[in-house]
Structure 1
Amino acid sequence: MQGPSTADPDTPVRPRSPGDRVRGSLLSWRVLAWLCALTLFLPVVVVLWEAITPSRGADAGSWDHVRTNLLGPAVRDTVILVAGVCLLSVLLAVPAAWCISTLQFPGRNLLSVLLVLPLAVPPYIAAFASTEARESFIPILARIRMEAGVETYLKVEVIHRFTWLILIFAAVLYPYVFLACRSAFSGSSRRLAEASRALGAGRWTTFLKINLPLARPALVAGLFLVAMEVINDYGAVHHLGINSMTVTIFRTWFGLGELDTARRLAGWMLLGIFALVLLEQWQRGRRRFSEGRETTLHRPKCGTAGAISCWLVCLIPVTLGLLLPLSVLIQWWRASTVEVSAPEILAAARNSLFLGVAVTVICLLLGLVIAGLARFTRRRSDRFMAQWSGIAGYASPGAVMAAGVLTVAATLREWFPPETWLGSQLLSDSLLWLGFGLTARYIAISIQMARQSQSSIPVVNDHAACTLGRGPLQIFTSIHLPLMKPALAGAAILIFVDVCKELPLCLMLRTFDFETLGTWTWGLKDQGKIWATAAPSLVLICTCLVGLALVETFGWRHQRRRQP
């Protein structure tokens, strides 16, 4: 009778590689990351479920009414806005990015920082600041009505509102395209452009055949962010009377009192946005931005005429997006007869600061958990989870996220009545849901910047640490975190700025006694005190300006110089 077979003692046993040992103790990390991701993804899942389930009873009649009378015009107006804003953003951002990246002229570094700062101006505040300029066209519109008739007047008036809204959005959102194109133009495309010039091609030919095609993935990614911001906006489009998808959700929810129909509309809106995300991912394929180390090639110096042209190209978007709104708001603040008490401003600023800091800290911690797992794991499911956690939240407009959060809250209230401890403490109307919604929406910034920073850290560092007996957590805390500090600081400031500027989520989820600078500004506008919005608007813009200036001066651009 043969005993159990044993391995030949002379047969060598393959030792575990350092990568295998690094990935061997990720169970707890994986469970925590998946728990965080699924919890934050829950509002999106709920909204998508509303879109694919059939409506019943009264909800079916309400949905038919919205689909027949409101959905078509809302989609049309949103598409017009997105197309117009994207086109104008390209015209404002690409020439400025090319001048900053490829030419040397006096004041270049200053303009490079100034071109990013219009992101500090929320679109709804820029729309408020344009009120007097838009009203100056009223005599022309009245003359068109008298001479050409009512029908022509109505068409011109709609074109007038769309033109102003496209200009406002492009003036404050073009920095997304500028940052992406500046990174692309400063990377490897500069070497290819120099080779093209050496072969006799002119600047214009080199730009069209070398720089622009290589920058296409970055350009599309920047335009995608611009489109998401336009779709998410409520304040500016509502102020100018355009019925976008977000405004239609608000009208269905608060005007018609149809919460279920609003959730279904939000679900279909989210399906359309995810289709855009998949389209952007498909067109990019395996291509990535050329955003490695900035090359040290010599930038040709501009003459006097060239320097003046570069200054004009760069100052036009800065003037439209930053200088003009600030000058109007300062003028209103000095001329306003409505007294805005300092305690009210301080209370709103304190609430914005508290909300921004709390959401920023939570987003950074959870983002590091998810990004860290994606670094060490070999499972495709883990990487897929990390990738979509960095997309789904930010791709969900504020109104859509609010609909999902309130649906989750309503479901939990059914499971845990107010009589229970959990229902009374955690599930009551409080800031819990506002913080949850903001975290679910903006954690994408933390994940994306953490993963981008980690991609610059050589894997051999992990293997070397593993051979010295370090586990994944020790490798992450002792090697990765110190090298990721610039990217994390940039992510923290960007999340804080976005939370302070957020309007739709705060309007729909805040408690009645909680005012941020954004919601207080919107409340003053609703009361007809348009000049009184100057004081809180200036405080909000200055807060965001400081953060963006710090990020641009000391943030992500200097991270690459510190990487091994």
Structure 2
Amino acid sequence: MTKSPKFWLLSTLLLAFVLTIPIWVLASFVFQSGNDNWQHLLDTLLPEYIINSLVLMFGVAFGTLLLGVPAAWLISHYQFTGSRWLHWALLLPLAMPAYISAYTYTGLLEFEGPVQSALREVFGFGISQWFPEVRSLGGAVLLFSLVLYPYVYLLSRSAFGSSSQKALEVSRTLGAGPVKSFFQVALPMARPAIIAGVTLALMETLADFGAVQHFGVDTFTTGIYRTWSGLDDTNTAMQLSLVLLSFVGILILVERWSRQQQRYYVGDVKTDASDYVQLTGKKNVFAFAVCFLPILLGFLVPSGQLLYWSLTTAETNLNSDFFELTWNSFSLALITAVATVAVAVFLAYAKRMSNLSRVKQFVQVAHLGYAVPGTVLAIAIIIPLAWFDKTVDDFFYENYEISTGLILSGTLFALVFAYMVRFLSVALQSVESGLARIKPSMDDSARTLGASSWTIMGRIHLPLMHTSLITALILVFVEVLKELPTTLILRPFNFDTLSIKAYEMAADERLADAGLPALLIVLTSLIPVIILSKLMDKRSG
């Protein structure tokens, strides 16, 4: 039996509404008047939040451009020592969450850390007076640049790789050297992709909580959490969230605009081995240094510190509590991944089976949760769930004198729902990509043989798109494992995860004890990076 268009329309409408409940909750606070706390924030802290956020954005934009674009250009057009492995190794910092990198660099560079201690032994105590403070706005800019430049590198490399070699050759025949060809031909052609990469990096910067909180930099996410947990003021926290979302909205518009512009430069031209320029001597050393330095500072150094901490504390920390944390984290991530991919498959399938434009629009609406930072999303979900729990409890107490307590809020349901809202877009993109590669003619042939929509999906689509499904599962699994602010706010009482344990140890200045859970998160996060690097190899092959 083939489902009617009405079924797809109503089901996608219902899912889109449920998945955007946090956004409707946020929108309702637009009409709320400010209280004394809001006025206090306007007069004192809000300007600091805005200035710090803007400085972070401009600093990270410059830093990711400086690290990502030159590396992408060198990897795309030159051969030099190590270029074969550097092209995928440049993605490794994607496996290093910003808050974990913040812990490692704090441990390395603070006053009692090994770097300053070694310098004091050589130069005396006076060296620490001019040593830059790692827990600062400048330190946060450098940190985010090191862990987020792969977004710029990845999209820039794709753009440079698809740039027409003929256009570059023509520029050289007209007398333009390599530098001039880069700035006047290659860079303008790749500009939309570069802007998209920077935009993604800036959205991650604005959404971060763990790193800026550890570095003592006041931004919107720290202000929202402090207002909600410290002042117990949901109204003011939501109004701060709306200001933050206005920043995010601008970045989304920029990203969408840059994506539309990609049609002007993306082509099917592939770079052959003969097109690469072989570098020797100083140029070879320079190219290697440009590409290796971000890997060293963005992944190898913090990973080495985490490994050292893990080895020194393994005897005391590798116990039943640690295995319980691992079980909590992995089981929660797996449950969320399966549920999220299941919803993504249904939405993608509805979009394929229905010709209604409304269905496609509802599926697009379901993507919106990815734009909401974890801190904002968690508080926006607590509000309706707490209202539901209170309504049910009041009803049963008034009629039967029974207290139902917390039914949804403060449970794993709240966590899984929040993760699904936030990471559904990750799963949908992978599922839709796999589904798009299946020719519609296969569906038509199956229908002529009497197969229903569910039979077609179960026997044809799902087996053919198993790679995309596994990829979606892994991506959501890792994102849940790394997520900190959502877990911190919504976790049930006495339920800890690896990310929470690392955060609590770092907050107590027990950085070495944060090493083991943080290292496991990083090692697990390497899986999608490896998948991504293999996909890049296939495309460039």
- Partners of 2:389 and 2:407 within 8 A in 1: no
Matching residue's letter, 1:278: L
Are 1:314 and 2:295 matched, yes or no? no
The alpha carbon displacement at 1:481 in A equals 3.9
Residues 244 and 234 (structure 1), Cα distance of their counterparts in 2 relative to 1, 3 Å cut: same
- State the partner residue of 1:385: 362
Report whether the alignment pairs 1:245 with 2:220: yes
TM-score (norm 2): 0.87
The answer to whether structure 1 residue 70 and structure 2 residue 45 are counterparts is: yes
Partner residue, 1:427: 408
What per-residue deviation string (whole Å, max 9, x for no partner) do you get for residues 447-506 of structure 1?
223334445555555556556665555555555445543333333222222111111111
Are 2:228 and 2:234, in contact at CA under 8 Å, matched by a contact in 1? yes
State which drifts further: 107-116 or 172-181: 107-116
> Would you say the 8 A contact 1:418–1:424 is kept in 2?
no
Residue 489 (structure 2) aligned to one of 491, 508, 520: 508
Secondary structure at the counterpart of residue 316 of structure 2: coil
Aligned-residue offset at 1:242: 0.5
Q: Give the Cα separation in 2 of the matches to 1:179 and 1:101.
A: 11
1:266 matched to 2:231? The reply is no
Range that drifts further, 509-518 or 293-302: 293-302
C-alpha distance in 1 between matches for 2:441 and 2:170: 33
Listed as ranges, the matches of 1:55-66 within 5 Å are 55=33, 60-66=35-41
Question: In structure 2, do the counterparts of structure 1 residues 489 and 112 end up closer, same or farther at CA, with 3 Å as the change threshold?
Answer: farther
Amino acid at match of 2:299: L
Question: Separation in 1 of the partners of 2:127 and 2:227?
Answer: 31
Matched residue SS, 1:262:
helix
Quote the residue 1:324 is aligned against.
Answer: 301
Say whether the 8 Å CA contact 1:356–1:495 is kept in structure 2.
Answer: yes
- Read off the aligned partner of 2:144 and give its amino acid letter: F
Q: Does the C-alpha gap of structure 1 residues 134 and 528 become closer, same or farther in structure 2, counting only changes over 3 Å?
A: closer
Partner of 1:344: 321
Q: CA deviation at 1:209?
A: 2.9
CA distance in 2: counterparts of 1:86 and 1:210, whole angstroms: 22
Aligned residue number for residue 543 of structure 1: 524
Unmatched 5+ stretches in structure 1: 1-20, 145-152
Distance 1:415 1:547, change over 3 A: same
Q: Among residues 28, 31, 43, which one is paired with 2:10 in the alignment?
A: 31
CA drift at 1:408: 1.6
SS at match of 1:239: helix
Structure 2 Cα separation of the partners of residues 479 and 194 of structure 1: 46
- Structure 1 residue aligned with 2:348, among 368, 371, 374? 371
Q: Does 1:437 align with 2:418?
A: yes
The one-letter code matched in structure 1 to 2:218 is: N
Q: Does 1:409 align with 2:385?
A: yes
**Could you list the per-position Cα deviations for residues 253-306 of structure 1 after superposition, in whole angstroms to 9, with x for gaps in the alignment?**
122221221122213322332233124324544544966767253432413334
Deviation at 1:543, TM superposition (A): 1.7
Other structure's SS at 1:257 match: coil
Secondary structure (helix, strand or coil) at the match of 1:130 reads helix
How many residues get paired? 523
CA contact 2:70–2:290 (8 Å) conserved in 1: yes
CA contact (8 A) 2:411 2:492 kept: yes
Q: 1:378 to 1:337 in 2, by over 3 A?
A: closer
Q: Which residue of 2 aligns with 1:226?
A: 201
Q: CA distance change for structure 1 residues 489 and 559 in 2, over 3 Å: closer, same or farther?
A: farther
Aligned mate of 2:506, from 525, 529, 536: 525
2:276 maps to 1:300: yes
Tell me if the contact between 1:189 and 1:210 (Cα under 8 Å) persists in the aligned partners.
no
**Cα gap change, 1:380 to 1:241, in 2 (>3 Å):** same
**CA-to-aligned-CA distance 1:86-121 (integer Å, 9 cap, x gap):** 210111111112222223345333222211111111
Q: 1:397 aligns with which of 368, 373, 378?
A: 373
CA 1:26–1:210 in 2, change beyond 3 Å: closer, same or farther? Answer: farther
CA shift at 1:308, angstroms? Answer: 3.1
* 3-state SS of 2:44 partner: helix
Q: For 2:201 and 2:355, locate their aligned partners in 1 and report how far apart those are by CA, in whole Å.
A: 33
1:489 maps to what in 2?
Answer: 470
Among 480, 484, 499, the residue aligned to 2:480: 499
Give the whole-Å Cα distance in 1 for the aligned partners of 2:413 and 2:485: 16
| Amino acid in structure 1 at the alignment position of 2:497 | T
Gap change, CA 1:486 and 1:206, over 3 Å in 2:
farther
Moved more, 457-466 or 532-541: 457-466
User: Are the structure 2 counterparts of residues 247 and 335 from structure 1 closer, same or farther at C-alpha, using a change threshold of 3 Å?
Assistant: same
Instruction: Give the match's secondary structure for 1:45.
Output: helix
**Which amino acid in 1 is paired with 2:25?**
V
Unaligned segments of structure 2, at least 5 residues: 397-401
* Residues in 2 aligned to 1:477 and 1:286: alpha-carbon distance in whole angstroms: 37
Distance (whole Å) between structure 2 residues aligned to residue 219 and residue 352 of structure 1 = 35
Q: 1:419 to 1:556 in 2, by over 3 A?
A: farther
TM superposition score normalised by structure 1: 0.83
- What residue in structure 1 maps to residue 31 of structure 2? 53
Aligned to 1:99: 74
The answer to whether the 8 Å contact 1:402/1:437 transfers is: yes
**Amino acid in structure 1 at the alignment position of 2:517:** P
Choose 540-549 or 101-110, whichever is displaced more. 101-110
State the shift of 1:326 in Å. Answer: 1.4
Instruction: Say whether residues 1:113 and 2:83 are aligned partners.
Output: no
Q: 1:193 to 1:28 in 2, by over 3 A?
A: farther
| Cα distance in 1 between the residues matched to 2:70 and 2:246 | 34
- Which residue of 145, 151, 155 maps to 1:180? 155
1:378-419, Cα deviation, whole Å (9 max, x unpaired):
3333223323322x2111100110111101212212332277
Query: In structure 2, what residue type is equivalent to 1:373?
Result: A
> How has the CA–CA distance of structure 1 residues 388 and 225 changed in structure 2, closer, same or farther, with 3 Å as cutoff?
farther
Give the distance between the partners of 1:474 and 1:211, measured in 2 at CA: 48
| Contact map agreement 1:118 1:171 (CA 8 A) in 2 | yes
Report SS of the residue matched to 2:317.
coil
Hey, what does 2:142 align to over in structure 1?
167
Equivalent-residue separation in structure 2 for 1:308 and 1:560 (angstroms) = 24
Cα distance in structure 2, aligned partners of 1:193 and 1:331: 47
Quick check: 2:26–2:238 contact (8 Å CA) kept in 1? yes
Q: Match of 2:399?
A: none
Look up the equivalent residue of 1:39 and give its one-letter code: V
In structure 1, what is the Cα distance between the partners aligned to 2:72 and 2:452? Answer: 43
* Contact 1:524-1:532 within 8 A present in 2 as well: yes
Deviation of residue 141 (structure 1)?
A: 9.0
CA distance in structure 2 between the aligned counterparts of 1:290 and 1:466, rounded to whole angstroms: 39
Change (3 A) 1:457 1:100: farther
CA distance in 1, matches of 2:444, 2:189: 34
* Amino-acid identity (%): 32
Give the root-mean-square deviation of aligned CA atoms.
3.2
Give, in whole Å, the separation in 1 of the partners of 2:473 and 2:496.
22
Contact 1:217 1:288 in 2 (8 A): no
Q: CA deviation at 1:329?
A: 2.2
